[in-house]
Amino acid sequence: MKIGILTGGGDCPGLNPVIRAVVRTAMNDNQTIVGIRHGWKGLLDKETKPLDLKSVSGILHKGGTILGTSRTNPYKKEGGVEIVKKNLAELGIDALVAIGGEDTLGVATNLYKEGVKVVGVPKTIDNDLGATDFTFGFDTAINIVMECIDRLHTTAESHDRIMVVEVMGRHAGWIAAYSGIAGGADYILIPEIPIDAKEVCKSIQSRHERGKNFSIIVVSEGAFFKDENVCLQEKNLDEFGHVRLGGIGQTLGKLIEDTTGFETRVTVLGHIQRGGTPTAFDRVLGTRFGVKAYKLIKAGSFGKMVSLKGNQIVDVNLEDATKELKTLDLDLYEMSKIFFS
């Protein structure tokens, strides 16, 4: 069997551990593996990279993806799907492992319905994919943000300042909530609940009345004020119809400073959250996902996505993963409020 493997969408720590695990498991079984460059783009351009034990040696701890990635949508190209199918046949690829988030796996779901033998692996720092408890990349991202919040604490305290930290996560507040709880944030703002500016400022003021001279506010890039829209970096949509979020931190920071009179600074963490070495959790999760993905292919079980349920790696229907966005568990958010102000 010849197995193709691709990584699509935004990169994240843990992609290389998945690639390594698929290659190692498949090669133990004497199968041939070929890497497809830059996600679905590589199947449109027929751009591949041979993969063997040597090419995956030493990549476990490396962030990013040795295959490259892109946000290319073959369904948005004239005749794109036919080209993908033709190129798969010409490359002699019998089965495909697609590693990605909602967009990449959405394409995989549709291709499966059109007869392509594909298995999905859930990736995203945002943790917003359904049908899995966690995606890999998320743990690394929240640990990076937590460390940044720890660092912001000391400078905030030294200067008697409010620090607003804008984090990624798109339209789900997982990164904000987990990193905010872990970092001891004094307020966390998420896309699932519109920002009540008065409430945020009141909370900061009451904290200062209690004798605290600084505060840390974590805001998700997708959070927005009541009756207003999300803040955008640019209006153009990508091939999957996504906007580029960003800017809520600055707007919120100014509002807090103007309302409370407390000096405020804003930090936008951006792609720092996606870079660098994966945590042990993400290396192990990626490895378990990769091994399971190969097993599904070997069993001829296509149209599935590997998934973490509790502590078990299971398989679910690809379709279930992308049916709807997995937004933040609001019980967790309610709990985090105990620590506000």
Question: What is the spatial distance between Cα 179 and Cα 63, in angstroms, rounded to a whole number?
Answer: 20
**Catalytic status, residue 126:** yes
Report the alpha-carbon distance of residue 208 to residue 270 in Å, rounded.
29
| Side chain identity, residue 23 | V
Of 91 and 325, nearer to ligand F6P (C-beta) is 325
Q: Does 8 bind ligand F6P (CB under 6 A)?
A: no
- Taking CB under 6 A as the rule, does residue 68 contact ligand F6P? no
Q: Which is nearer to ligand F6P, 45 or 239 (CB)?
A: 239
Q: Which is nearer to ligand F6P, 139 or 221 (CB)?
A: 221
Question: Least separation, in Å, of the C-beta of 301 and ligand F6P?
Answer: 27
The 262-281 site mask, x for binding ligand F6P (CB under 6 A), equals ------------x-------
Distance from C-alpha of 172 to C-alpha of 271, rounded to nearest angstrom: 17
Q: Smallest distance from the beta carbon of 10 to ligand F6P, in angstroms? A: 4
Q: In 3D, which of 108, 103, 8, 93 has the Cα closest to residue 51?
A: 93
Q: Which of residues 124-183 bind ligand F6P (CB under 6 A)?
A: 124-126, 168-170
Burial zone of 272 (CB within 10 Å; 0-12 exposed, 13-18 middle, 19+ buried): middle
Sequence-distant (≥ 6) Cβ neighbours of residue 3 within 8 angstroms: 22, 26, 31, 32, 33, 34, 93, 94, 95, 96, 97, 294, 297
Tell me the C-alpha distance between 306 and 312, whole Å.
10
**Beta carbons of 126 and 148 less than 8 angstroms apart:** no
DSSP-based helix, strand, coil % in the chain, nearest 5: 40, 20, 40
Least gap, CB of 135 to ligand F6P (angstroms):
10
Number of residues engaging ligand F6P in binding (CB under 6 A) = 11
Considering only the stretches 120-128, 212-220, 296-304, 333-341, report the one whose residues sit in contact with ligand F6P under the rule CB under 6 A.
120-128
Minimum CB distance to ligand F6P smaller for 274 or for 288: 274
Closest CA to 103 of 5, 242, 232, 233: 242
Binding segment for ligand F6P (CB under 6 A), chosen from 33-41, 52-60, 119-127, 181-189, is 119-127
On the 0-12 / 13-18 / 19+ scale of CB atoms within 10 A, 66 is middle
Choosing from 11, 103, 126, 128, the catalytic residue is 126
Nearest residue to 217 (alpha-carbon basis) of 194, 242, 193, 183: 183
Q: How far is the CB of 125 from ligand F6P (least distance, A)?
A: 5
Residue at shortest CB range from ligand F6P: 168
122 binds ligand F6P (CB under 6 A): no
Which of 4, 8, 10, 100 is close enough to bind ligand F6P by CB under 6 A?
Answer: 10
CA 231-234-237 angle, 5° bins = 105
Is the CB of 274 or the CB of 292 nearer to ligand F6P?
274
Question: Closest separation between CB of residue 244 and ligand F6P, Å?
Answer: 6
* 186 lies in the site for ligand F6P, by CB under 6 A: no
Q: What is the largest CA-CA distance in the chain?
A: 70
Nearer to ligand F6P, 168 or 328 (CB): 168
Kindly list the catalytic residues: 126
The site for ligand F6P (CB under 6 A) is made up of 10, 101, 124-126, 168-170, 221, 245, 274
